[in-house]
Amino acid sequence: MLEQVHRECAGFKEGNVATYIPELAKANPDWFGICLVTANGSVYEVGDSNQSFTIQSISKPFVYGLALEDNSRTEVLKKVGVEPTGDVFNSISLEPNTGRPRNPMINAGAIATAGMITGRSPQTRLKRILDTFGLYAGRELSLDQSVYRSESDTGHRNRAIGHMLRNFDILTTDPMPVAELYFQQCSISVTCRDLGIMAATLANRGINPVTGKQAIRGEYVESVLSVMETCGMYDYAGEWIYKVGMPAKSGVAGGVIAVLPGQLGIGVFSPPLDTHGNSVRGVRVCEELSRSLDLHLLNRPGDGRLIVRHRFTGADFNSSRVRTTEENRVLREAGKRIHIWQLQGNLMFSTTEVAIRDVAETMPNAEYLILDFKRVLLLNECACGLFYQLLLDATAQGKTLLFIQTKNVPLLRRFMRAKLREQFETTFRVFEHIDRALEWCENQLLETALPLRSNDDTVELKEFPVLADFTAAESATLTGLLKRNIYKSGDTIINAGDPAGELFLLRRGQVSVLLPQSSGENSRLATFSAGMTFGEMALIDGAPRSAMIVADADVECDLLTLEDFHRLDQTHLAIKIKLLRNLCFDLSNKLRKANRELSVLG
């Protein structure tokens, strides 16, 4: 697509290379490069995208961003306005009484902005600008000394502006070093590829999407883009927004950048300029790309419906804690009082509203409300406020609201701590994983519905479902085959890859089935408690163990070896049949549960 646009626009031969300084006049009018960089860091380039040229006025928004960081928005606004002038590119446009330049994209405003860059010496200030631009571009940048000398030799008009600004106390120091700094910022040598990445850094809230480094604090990006939006293309702003719909800035050497926030940045380089002072092909390329890629800023579909990835209750989907038949029976009904929202994407007002509204409407019918932030990419302060209000409402109604995996969204924790103060620890309940939160809620429900069984109790063999319907004699026979093993809390009972060996009857304590993740952490597949059986699948199909099993507490197990299990065929047919039937029953329960959960996630 870029190649096609390049081919088409190469045909436009209108416009003239800038000649106000001899160095610029040397540019080849046929140089033509395009570079598009996505907010995810994909770089697409075509043509003369590595030809060097000077950044010129495209430096203005980036220096404006640095001035905002150095001085705060309030201070900067005192000295430079944000209204478009409707005037041509080299107009002076100071406000009549205050002398405040109308905006930072005209030369007067840019010189005032350069005067706000902090640093002890002229060298320090220049270095700060070069370093900042380098972060935007993702490589070290330097001055084109011959262009700089040429700019400085002929920059009488800009020196006049400097003195005028000093006269109005917009500049408060000697204006001459400020003018030099301005000549220098304009003489920074870049390529079209650099411009594409710099634009994409603005699109990516100040973080260079190729290097991952921050070039400007995210909070100031909207201000930089705002002045580009209204004042970036001189007196062509209205038509630009109408046709292209992206904040942009052009430079007299033939560069143009355009930024589509959250999506991409575009850099174009072609020296011939139109009467507005904008690159003819640069404007044309942006128009073409906006049209063919549908990039208009004001043509954005909604994405609120996407924010809830999964929505289910504790009746449809359970924790990996394996439950007894009785417990499962309770949870199939009582689990309806647990509601889970798995959120995804960016939590801003409009998306958060969709989720919160559903949670609030569900609240009367729920006891436990679980919000899973695992797949949330970003959350802003407004969303924090909405979740805080929701938490207050839930607490007031005696409901329990749980927050899952808030590591991705540290702002939420800070916000809640600041608002809740001494109530923070007791009110803001966070679990690292949805599974643990579900288990906790299930336990609360089960506690009220069933007699409590202590974790320390030893379960008699006759209570094991796998031995259901055994006669006393059969029990005694089987017991004779079992071997007692004892494990300390934390011991590994089975390793993934171990050969199939034994069936484990868990007499005391609890064990978890864990699967090592590429992240180094283990994901929990199941937790068994006393009275349950594990390791049966390897017993049946003889396949090596597929996961590791670890003792969560001090554990006692009775083990039936594979050999003894097989030998029952010859010695105790009735026992074997009952064992197999009970294992079948157990497997079919697990399969029903897995299928139910698959249909929830599918």
Binding residues for its own copies restricted to 232-261, rule: CB under 8 A: 235, 237-239, 241-242, 245, 247, 260-261
What whole-number distance in Å separates Cα of residue 138 and Cα of residue 32?
22
578 noted as active-site residue? no
Q: Which two tokens stand for residue 517?
A: 């993740």
Catalytic residue among 5, 60, 178, 376: 60
Binding residues for its own copies, rule CB under 8 A, total 100
Among 11, 398, 451, 602, binds its own copies (CB under 8 A): 602
- Note whether 473 binds its own copies by CB under 8 A: no
User: How far, in Å, CA of 60 to CA of 267, rounded?
Assistant: 15
Q: Does 223 bind its own copies (CB under 8 A)?
A: yes
Structure tokens at 497: 């890859």
Report yes or no: 32 and 48 within 8 Å, Cβ to Cβ: yes
Site for its own copies in 181-220 (CB under 8 A): 203-205
The letter for the amino acid at 570 is Q
Q: Build a one-symbol-per-residue string for 47-86: x at contacts with its own copies by CB under 8 A, - elsewhere.
A: ----------------------------------xxxxxx
Specify the residue for token string 């390329």. Answer: 285
Q: How far apart are CA 307 and CA 359, in angstroms?
A: 13
**Which positions ≥6 away from 572 have C-beta within 8 Å?**
474, 477
Active-site residue flag, 182: yes
In angstroms, give the least distance from the CB of 405 to its own copies. 13
Is-catalytic flag, 60? yes
| 361 touching its own copies, by CB under 8 A | no
Decide whether 196 or 261 has the Cβ nearer to its own copies: 261
Query: What's the chain's length in residues?
Result: 602
At 476, list the tokens: 């005694």
State the Rg of the chain over Cα.
34
Nearest of 452, 462, 525, 518 to residue 494 by alpha carbon: 525
| C-beta of residue 536 within 8 angstroms of C-beta of residue 583 | yes
For the bound state, the minimum distance from the C-beta of residue 534 to its own copies, rounded and expressed in Å, comes to 13
User: Minimum distance between the CB of residue 131 and its own copies, rounded to whole angstroms?
Assistant: 25
User: Residue 505 Cβ, how far from its own copies at the closest point, in Å?
Assistant: 17
d(CA 595, CA 584): 16
Spatial neighbors of 363 by CB under 8 A, at least 6 apart, are 369, 393, 394, 397, 399
DSSP designation for 521: P
Token pair 């509203």 is found at: 353
CB of 158 vs its own copies, minimal distance in Å: 23
Q: Which amino acid is at 103?
A: N
Distances (CA, A) of 20 to 24, 177, 236: 8, 22, 22
Which region holds residue 166: left if phi is over 0, alpha if psi is between -120 and 50, else beta?
alpha
Residue with Cβ nearer its own copies (93 or 250)? 93
Question: At 514, is the secondary structure helix, strand, or coil?
Answer: strand
284-303 binders of its own copies (CB under 8 A): 292-303
Point out the catalytic residue in the list 147, 252, 268, 409.
252
CB 491, min distance to its own copies, A: 24
Site of tokens 């109530």: 423
Q: Which is nearer to its own copies, 229 or 287 (CB)?
A: 229
| By CB under 8 A, residue 515 contacts its own copies | yes
In the complex, least distance from residue 425 CB atom to its own copies, rounded to whole angstroms: 26
Residue 473 vs 594, nearer CB to its own copies: 594
| The binder of its own copies chosen from 80, 264, 482, 549 (CB under 8 A) | 264
Residues 362-421 that bind its own copies (CB under 8 A): 377-378, 380-382, 385-386, 389
Q: Which two tokens stand for residue 9?
A: 């626009």
DSSP secondary structure string, 252-305?
A: TTSEEEEEETTTEEEEEE---B-TTSSBHHHHHHHHHHHHHHT--TT-----GG
Given candidates 225, 366, 548, 557, which one binds its own copies under the rule CB under 8 A?
225
Q: Select the residue interacting with its own copies from 22, 212, 262, 490 (CB under 8 A).
A: 262
Catalytic (active site) residue 20? no
User: Using N-to-C axis directions, what is the helix angle for 107-114 and 156-167, rounded to 10°?
Assistant: 70
d(CA 146, CA 23): 7
Nearer to its own copies, 164 or 231 (CB): 231
Is residue 234 annotated as a catalytic residue, yes or no? yes
Looking at the Cβ atoms of 29 and 41, the one nearer to its own copies is 41
Pair of tokens at residue 276: 């507005």
Taking the complex as a whole, how short is the minimal distance between the CB of residue 354 and its own copies, in angstroms? Answer: 6
Is 106 near its own copies (CB under 8 A)? no
Q: CB-wise, 94 or 147, nearer to its own copies?
A: 94
599 lines the binding site for its own copies (CB under 8 A): yes
Quickly tell me which residue has 């899952």 as its tokens: 404
Q: How far is the CB of 12 from its own copies (least distance, A)?
A: 20
Among residues 42, 50, 489, 571, which is the contact residue for its own copies, using CB under 8 A?
Answer: 42
The catalytic position among 57, 93, 290, 512 is 57
Residues whose CB falls within 8 Å of the CB of residue 218, separated by 6 or more in sequence, listed in order: 205, 206, 207
The Cα–Cα gap between 336 and 479 comes to 40
Binding region for its own copies (CB under 8 A) out of 124-132, 273-281, 470-478, 589-597:
589-597
CB of residue 203 to its own copies, shortest distance in Å: 8
Residue 531 binds its own copies (CB under 8 A)? no
Residue 592 contacts its own copies per CB under 8 A: yes
Distance in angstroms (rounded) separating the CA atoms of residues 463 and 416: 47
| Nearer Cβ to its own copies (42/492) | 42
Is 334 in contact with 449 (CB distance < 8 Å)?
Answer: yes
Of the residues 23, 151, 194, 229, which one makes contact with its own copies according to CB under 8 A: 229
325-354 residues near its own copies, rule: CB under 8 A:
344-346, 348-350, 353-354
- Residue 119 interacts with its own copies (CB under 8 A): yes or no: no
In whole angstroms, the minimum distance from the beta carbon of 502 to its own copies comes to 16
Query: Which CB atom, from 71 or from 546, has the smaller least distance to its own copies?
Result: 546
Give whichever of 187 and 527 is closer to its own copies, judged by the CB atom: 527
Q: Hey, is 142 helix, strand or coil?
A: coil
Task: Determine which one of 64, 148, 182, 487 is catalytic.
Answer: 182
What are the CA-CA distances from residue 374 to residues 362, 403, 404, 406 (Å)? 21, 10, 7, 7
The answer to the question of residue 88 lying near its own copies (CB under 8 A) is no
**Exactly one of 64, 148, 234, 487 is catalytic; which is it?**
234
Catalytic residue list: 57, 60, 182, 234, 252
